[in-house]
Amino acid sequence: MNNMTKQNMKKIELLAPAGSFESLKAAINAGADAVYFGIGNFNMRASAARNFQLEDLPEVVKTCHKNNVKAYVALNTVLYNNELERMQEIINKIKSSGADALIAADIAAIKYAREIDLEVHISTQLSISNTESLKHYAQFADRVVLARELSLEQVKSISEDIRKQTIKGPKGELIELEAFAHGALCVAVSGRCAMSLYCYGRSANRGQCAQVCRREYKITDIETGKELVVDNNYVMSAADLCTIGMLPELLDAGITILKIEGRGRQAEYVDTVISTYKKALKAIDKGEYTQANIEKWLKDLESVYNRGFTQGFYMGRKLDEWSGARGSKASEEKTLIGVVQKYYPKAQVVQVKILAKDIIKEGEKFAIIGPTTGIVKGKLTGMLVNDKAVKSASQNDIVTFKLHNKRTNTPARHNDKFYIIRPR
């Protein structure tokens, strides 16, 4: 790691995704420095089941700021003429909520945000790939998410130009460079794809991607009817980006904001990924970034949703870095078992009712997830049913067990969901 990176370690920002209150709290508890989220329909995850609405905005921002976490709102879709007035109304509310910045791609949203003095971060959808393009957008934005297709050498070249040419944003400070560090990759250039629109009338550029590229396809010769057999049936479904093993190189290239993709993913994903990257950043700072730790962190990341891992384009894209399968390759999966009835803070004991037709056993991993709790994980120890010690419990049993978590004084709340985590 170079001397400049060592000096700037305290400036590194770990940016977490949030698509629900559960994942928001998970991000905060896991150590995120900032959170980004969408509201309503004008963001790139507009079709996600887990998404905030405009009325949630004040509470989300308040929750972030109460925990010294910055709040960035994504309004980064293509906009049409009949939507401009609504766009302005939403940005006005983003400004009044106290959110720290707007993430945008459409110049109409970018210009309006600047007119009302709201900080702007340029979305990767604009595919900024060179210094001249960056200089143009510097008049509007204090931060730029570079195109995902750049190599580390290209990123470093732009970063050096920012310092040499003193390229500043509206705040009068040098432009910040943000880059994706972990999560889903799109087969299209910086996510700008028309395949979903062509097949289903759902535009990816409007946040409604149907992920048509993630499926299996047969190539058929129309004249003969013969089918082309492809070794990898998922030829358009990219593996997930993972930079846990190359963080020093990413930071040396001039990146100061590490962005985690995953607004459509669940709380346990956010918790695991953010806490893992936080550990890695602390290890770099302490001189403990070792191969043994990297291998451990990789295993942790493999335990939650993933399509296999790749370093993306940072080190030069390889031809075989495709998912090779539909859905997740996570080494673990969670099963909803019951609900929390009560937590006793003095005794540090949680009471759970088992609702599923399943048997839970001593030593199994569990997760408790709720909109205020976020996610708390542990292992079942000291289970009691009807005040008697047991090694297992089943449907309709009311189980109590010890629950302590260093991150929070209230690790479970009434009606939080109780999951068992098992190997896939």
Q: pLDDT tens, 92-151? A: 999 999 999 999 999 999 999 999 999 999 999 899 999 999 999 999 999 999 988 899
Same domain, 301 and 162: yes
How far, rounded to the nearest angstrom, does the alpha carbon of residue 183 sit from its chain's CA centroid? 7
E strand map for 326-364? 332-344, 349-354, 360-361
Distances (CA, A) of 305 to 103, 145, 267, 318: 25, 24, 11, 22
Predicted local confidence at residue 220, as pLDDT: 78
Same domain, 55 and 142: yes
**Among the listed ranges 60-64, 201-205, 370-374, 379-383, which one has the minimum average pLDDT value?**
201-205
Q: What is the largest CA-CA distance in the chain?
A: 75
Same domain, 181 and 272: yes
What secondary structure letter does DSSP report for 117?
T
Position 372: which residue type? T
Instruction: Kindly report the CATH number assigned to the domain that includes residue 88.
Output: 3.20.20.70
Torsion angle of C-alpha atoms 377, 329, 267, 200, degrees rounded to 10: -160
Please state, for a pLDDT cut of 70, what percent of the chain lies above it.
83
Q: What share of the chain is helix, strand, coil (3-state, %, to 5)?
A: 30, 25, 45
289 within a domain of the structure (yes/no):
yes
Same domain, 254 and 398: no
323 within a domain of the structure (yes/no):
no
Contact in structure between 79 and 109 (CB atoms under 8 Å): yes
Same domain, 123 and 271: yes
Instruction: Kindly give the pairing relationship between strand 384-385 and strand 360-361.
Output: unpaired
In the predicted model, what is the mean pLDDT of residues 13-36? Answer: 96
Predicted local confidence at residue 187, as pLDDT: 64
CA 158/CA 160 separation, integer angstroms: 5
Please state, for a pLDDT cut of 90, what percent of the chain lies above it.
67
221 within a domain of the structure (yes/no):
no
**Predicted confidence (pLDDT) at residue 73 exceeds the cutoff of 60:** yes
371 within a domain of the structure (yes/no):
yes
Same domain, 270 and 306: yes
**Rounded mean pLDDT of the chain?**
87
pLDDT digits (tens, 9 = 90+) for 216-225: 766 777 788 7
Same domain, 279 and 403: no
Contact in structure between 338 and 421 (CB atoms under 8 Å): no
Q: Which of 259, 277, 310 is the last residue of a domain?
A: 310
129, 264, 128, 273: which is closest to 207 by C-alpha?
264
Predicted local confidence at residue 7, as pLDDT: 54
Contact in structure between 340 and 419 (CB atoms under 8 Å): no
Contact in structure between 239 and 261 (CB atoms under 8 Å): no
Same domain, 256 and 343: no
198 within a domain of the structure (yes/no):
no
More confident residue, 294 or 39: 294
Same domain, 170 and 264: yes
**Predicted confidence (pLDDT) at residue 199 exceeds the cutoff of 60:** yes
**Predicted confidence (pLDDT) at residue 319 exceeds the cutoff of 50:** no
- Where in the sequence is the domain holding 347, given as residue range(s)? 332-423
16 within a domain of the structure (yes/no):
yes
More confident residue, 99 or 228: 99
pTM above 0.85, yes or no: no
Predicted local confidence at residue 414, as pLDDT: 96
To 5 degrees, how large is the angle CA 29–CA 238–CA 236?
145
**Predicted confidence (pLDDT) at residue 49 exceeds the cutoff of 50:** no
E strand map for 162-223? 176-183, 219-220
223 within a domain of the structure (yes/no):
no
**Predicted confidence (pLDDT) at residue 203 exceeds the cutoff of 90:** no
325 within a domain of the structure (yes/no):
no
pLDDT digits (tens, 9 = 90+) for 255-274: 999 999 998 889 999 999 99
Predicted local confidence at residue 320, as pLDDT: 47
In the predicted model, what is the mean pLDDT of residues 297-322? Answer: 78
For the chain, how many structural domains are there in total? Answer: 2
In the three-class reduction of DSSP (H, G, I as helix; E, B as strand; rest coil), residue 277 is classed as: helix
CA 230/CA 219 separation, integer angstroms: 8
To 5 degrees, how large is the angle CA 114–CA 263–CA 130?
50
Same domain, 296 and 343: no
